[in-house]
A and B are shown apart, each in its own frame.
Chain A
């Protein structure tokens, strides 16, 4: 039963709750126990909360545990952004995302580790230490929403919230073998989301399946007058369009996303995915995003510029870390910020202040704005030829902790995700197989406000494949239905079938047996 609960996913758990197979309190306890057992992953940054209460009983997701990225303000809770600067900051107010999850009945069992202030692509830039990849604990989980992705992958929670500025949901989702959706910029309120780059930050959700992502997104999306960039569009039930078939869907394949740079193993998995979708009746159309190659440069100029201003409030004056024995106000600022921020945050603040400084603004900031506009136009043009775009989420699968130390090398991790962020479009990463035992992600991109297309394409793809049901071979493994411990190490637990019962009939090969050749299709 415990295993069923942890692998049921949000929709499955809701079904079990409806059928009386479990209760919110039991479910909470099971996930909390799993969270404690897997604390070594370093996916969570606060005490596990399995106390009663929190979620609204009349909410559509009542009884579903959730993990919030430690960037969403939560009243009475430490909201640290994984920074020494805010290590002791207790938020006096709730973010819109936290409010909405509570209203939907979700219970926040813990808060997730992340790259400091959401700056990073590996999860290593955390004041609390790197978050480990549940598929291989020597590897990174990706970032910046590292803990959220790892927690969902390790089945510590069926749903997790995250934020995506340039790939911070999609990239860790790909690295951890789960689904992650970044909706259209403005779809989810940023109220109470600690800002990295205001013009790009967007909250989204992680879950094992597209179906669960739809549930999570329906809960958190919606107009909020407290966020002036929030889109004033009616709320939607994102679960409603999942059955839109792949047949006749024109899927754009941006040729620039397959030029060099892309790992052969990942490329092969994507070819398989494309032929899978083609088999289901989708039409593959080649599209072009010629300016995408400027995206990383433009993205880092613009987001660093915004970050340099957004992070100015951490000055040691009102809250957060304050340096002791500062001689005067200038020293207080300098020392507090020197002590409070990690290296990557400092690097971006300095770069941002530079590109905005007098005499450089035109050369950097304005040019980057032009590039941003052009990239958005190229997406718009591409969407005249296709309904949805698909391609890789990341150039490679998860790399080893400590492997990449050159910041520019690290920034290039975002090469396929940042063009989308510059255009403010919705996108989603979906597991599409394993390359050298590590999961890879396929990215779907849709026109603005067409999240339903993303979710439908992903859901239809997932009806034909089972990558999203794979669970990492963790110790302790997920307990089986009888509550006994499965002691066989490194063997992934059985895969759940549609009926919600444990099923080994298909004899699905464990991921550890799969090569990087994209084999193992069902």
Chain B
């Protein structure tokens, strides 16, 4: 059965280069308006673009990673239109000859199945500036003008809003994995345009609409669901869908026309005479292929095989390359014996995906930037493993480590958190407690075994929680039996 919904996505990923694609101005995000504008970014008369090869390298990395064809010869073209955020009156993009053709993104659905979404192309282009409207006046900030973008165009092979979101998330993870895009959606580093149409009764795709400038996966999904429903209603009531460009209003949860077909633009593309054809040698492609990191799916398999992790944990660890790196570094620090490897790996994965991940989320920090590094986490895990502290204490220690940057050992020592594991000391304490509560001891001995917890609790409170609970329980049991 063919899906009634047909979706294709165009994703704009801002490339992580130091300078802009055609000028020496900084490409980093900058809050002060127009602080990063050189002659060509401001569209000054006589200013000329010169290509930043770092942006090309990013595009080649992407092309190789998605199994696309990196074209040895591609071409920059001008897309001509007037807009106040477009200083030259044209955008330098690629049209007939993109840098990457083909390739595919393998997307996992919620049921764990896999689907390959084909790519038409990926091409390099420059970003436009930003407009703001202040008290009746409009102002332009050209800091972003000329920042390199990779436009990734999928085949219309996506058949639901959920699949579109899954695809976009996979692309997002991939460009971050490759470290060619910071993926910061608030700052506009990763933006999506979605084309959607419904098939007619014969199965042919109908008239499509384009929803522009979506900057969250949730909005993407909402917008597509809304639009699919809207188009279905139009068709059911005997109407026809008009081709148009839409914007999604997240506040109202609906799409709205941005401009109608009547002023559909003719961009008058032609090869940019200021830039020679973009040539990429076999050697460059081979070099980049060589230096490409192991890609997420392969890494996942690797983690599962090497450490005996389940597919789910391995998948979560491979959501970001630095997370997977963090995990492996932690394991390398712990260097467990072969027979303990799987158990230690599982514990490490649990801590990384659990407590550490929640700290990272809370502070919006990546694994790389986390104040607790792999070595420090390994120290904490070692303390747990050796019975120095309980898992419960460890959670608090991790919080302190995060805040103060100290290692686990220092915190445990300073705060006196070391567990009381001295058999003799606990034995003495157990005997005192049993003696102090003869009635309860009597009840226990006559079969009310639930009272064991009462005695363990007494030991824990007497030691202010520093007793090893398992050990305390065993000792109490033995004492009561005597």
- A residues adjacent to B (C-beta < 8 A): 72-73, 79, 81, 86, 89, 91-93, 95, 190-195, 197-199, 225-229, 305-306, 308-309, 311-313, 315, 317-319, 329, 333, 353, 356-358, 361, 365
C-alpha gap A505/B47 in the complex (Å): 52
B46 & A194 in contact (Cβ 8 Å cutoff): yes
C-alpha gap A283/B438 in the complex (Å): 131
C-alpha gap A356/B78 in the complex (Å): 11
> Which residues of A are found within 8 Å of B88, using beta-carbon distances?
312-313
Closest to B140 in A: A317
> Which residues of B are found within 8 Å of A72, using beta-carbon distances?
46
Q: Which of B45, B46, B84, B275 contacts A329 (CB 8 A)?
A: B84
What is the minimal beta-carbon distance from B385 to any residue of chain A, in angstroms? 58
> Which residues of B are found within 8 Å of A226, using beta-carbon distances?
48, 50
- B residues adjacent to A (C-beta < 8 A): 39, 42-51, 78, 80, 82, 84, 87-90, 138, 140, 266, 268-270, 272-276
> Which residues of B are found within 8 Å of A92, using beta-carbon distances?
39, 44
> Which residues of B are found within 8 Å of A329, using beta-carbon distances?
84, 138
Q: Beyond A86-B45, A195-B274: 18 further Cβ-contacts under 8 Å?
A: A81-B45, A92-B39, A191-B46, A192-B46, A197-B273, A198-B272, A198-B273, A228-B50, A228-B274, A309-B268, A313-B88, A315-B82, A315-B89, A317-B140, A318-B43, A353-B268, A357-B268, A365-B270
- 6 CB-based A-B contacts, threshold 8 Å: A194-B45, A195-B45, A228-B48, A305-B270, A312-B88, A313-B43
> Which residues of B are found within 8 Å of A365, using beta-carbon distances?
270
A313 & B87 in contact (Cβ 8 Å cutoff): yes
A333 & B82 in contact (Cβ 8 Å cutoff): yes
The 5 closest A-B pairs by CB, nearest first: A312-B89, A199-B273, A356-B268, A198-B273, A194-B45
Knowing A229-B276, A313-B89, A317-B84, say if A361 contacts B46 (CB, 8 Å).
no
C-alpha gap A357/B84 in the complex (Å): 22
Knowing A198-B274, A306-B273, A312-B80, say if A318 contacts B87 (CB, 8 Å).
yes
B48 & A190 in contact (Cβ 8 Å cutoff): yes
A193 & B84 in contact (Cβ 8 Å cutoff): no
> Which residues of A are found within 8 Å of B84, using beta-carbon distances?
315, 317, 329
C-alpha gap A226/B80 in the complex (Å): 23
> Which residues of B are found within 8 Å of A198, using beta-carbon distances?
272-274
What is the minimal beta-carbon distance from A233 to any residue of chain B, in angstroms? 15
Q: Which of A191, A317, A333, A353 contacts B48 (CB 8 A)?
A: A191
C-alpha gap A329/B89 in the complex (Å): 13
Closest to A319 in B: B44
Closest to A193 in B: B46
B89 & A192 in contact (Cβ 8 Å cutoff): no
> Which residues of A are found within 8 Å of B269, using beta-carbon distances?
356
A228 & B276 in contact (Cβ 8 Å cutoff): yes
Q: Which of A191, A192, A308, A318 contacts B42 (CB 8 A)?
A: A318
What is the minimal beta-carbon distance from B245 to any residue of chain A, in angstroms? 17
Most chain A CB atoms below 10 A, which of B44, B90, B266, B268: B268
> Which residues of B are found within 8 Å of A225, using beta-carbon distances?
50
B266 & A228 in contact (Cβ 8 Å cutoff): no
A309 & B50 in contact (Cβ 8 Å cutoff): no
C-alpha gap A361/B267 in the complex (Å): 12
What is the minimal beta-carbon distance from A131 to any residue of chain B, in angstroms? 21
B270 & A361 in contact (Cβ 8 Å cutoff): yes
C-alpha gap A212/B435 in the complex (Å): 116
C-alpha gap A195/B88 in the complex (Å): 12
Most chain B CB atoms below 10 A, which of A79, A81, A315: A315
> Which residues of A are found within 8 Å of B140, using beta-carbon distances?
317-318
C-alpha gap A197/B270 in the complex (Å): 13
C-alpha gap A44/B89 in the complex (Å): 30
What is the minimal beta-carbon distance from B41 to any residue of chain A, in angstroms? 11
C-alpha gap A228/B23 in the complex (Å): 12
What is the minimal beta-carbon distance from A190 to any residue of chain B, in angstroms? 6
What is the minimal beta-carbon distance from B82 to any residue of chain A, in angstroms? 5
A309 & B270 in contact (Cβ 8 Å cutoff): yes
Q: Which of A73, A353, A357 contacts B46 (CB 8 A)?
A: A73
A308 & B268 in contact (Cβ 8 Å cutoff): yes
> Which residues of A are found within 8 Å of B89, using beta-carbon distances?
309, 311-313, 315
What is the minimal beta-carbon distance from A147 to any residue of chain B, in angstroms? 18
C-alpha gap A227/B47 in the complex (Å): 9
> Which residues of A are found within 8 Å of B138, using beta-carbon distances?
329
A79 & B45 in contact (Cβ 8 Å cutoff): yes
Closest to A199 in B: B273
B48 & A227 in contact (Cβ 8 Å cutoff): yes
Closest to B76 in A: A228
> Which residues of A are found within 8 Å of B51, using beta-carbon distances?
228
C-alpha gap A191/B275 in the complex (Å): 13
Knowing A198-B274, A306-B273, A333-B82, say if A312 contacts B90 (CB, 8 Å).
yes
C-alpha gap A315/B82 in the complex (Å): 8
A93 & B44 in contact (Cβ 8 Å cutoff): yes
> Which residues of B are found within 8 Å of A309, using beta-carbon distances?
78, 80, 89-90, 268, 270
Most chain B CB atoms below 10 A, which of A190, A308, A312: A312
What is the minimal beta-carbon distance from B162 to any residue of chain A, in angstroms? 36
> Which residues of B are found within 8 Å of A333, using beta-carbon distances?
82
> Which residues of B are found within 8 Å of A86, using beta-carbon distances?
45
What is the minimal beta-carbon distance from B182 to any residue of chain A, in angstroms? 28
What is the minimal beta-carbon distance from A258 to any residue of chain B, in angstroms? 32
> Which residues of A are found within 8 Å of B78, using beta-carbon distances?
309
C-alpha gap A356/B266 in the complex (Å): 9
C-alpha gap A446/B251 in the complex (Å): 67
> Which residues of A are found within 8 Å of B49, using beta-carbon distances?
228
What is the minimal beta-carbon distance from B80 to any residue of chain A, in angstroms? 5
B274 & A357 in contact (Cβ 8 Å cutoff): no
> Which residues of B are found within 8 Å of A311, using beta-carbon distances?
89
What is the minimal beta-carbon distance from A213 to any residue of chain B, in angstroms? 23
C-alpha gap A357/B272 in the complex (Å): 16
A95 & B46 in contact (Cβ 8 Å cutoff): yes
What is the minimal beta-carbon distance from A413 to any residue of chain B, in angstroms? 24
C-alpha gap A96/B1 in the complex (Å): 64
Most chain A CB atoms below 10 A, which of B44, B45, B46, B138: B45
Most chain B CB atoms below 10 A, which of A193, A356, A357: A356
B45 & A91 in contact (Cβ 8 Å cutoff): yes
> Which residues of B are found within 8 Å of A229, using beta-carbon distances?
273-276
C-alpha gap A86/B46 in the complex (Å): 13
Closest to A189 in B: B48
What is the minimal beta-carbon distance from A205 to any residue of chain B, in angstroms? 18
C-alpha gap A190/B39 in the complex (Å): 14
B82 & A312 in contact (Cβ 8 Å cutoff): yes
> Which residues of A are found within 8 Å of B42, using beta-carbon distances?
318
C-alpha gap A319/B39 in the complex (Å): 13
B45 & A313 in contact (Cβ 8 Å cutoff): yes
C-alpha gap A16/B152 in the complex (Å): 65
C-alpha gap A73/B43 in the complex (Å): 13
Closest to B43 in A: A313
What is the minimal beta-carbon distance from B277 to any residue of chain A, in angstroms? 11
Closest to A334 in B: B82
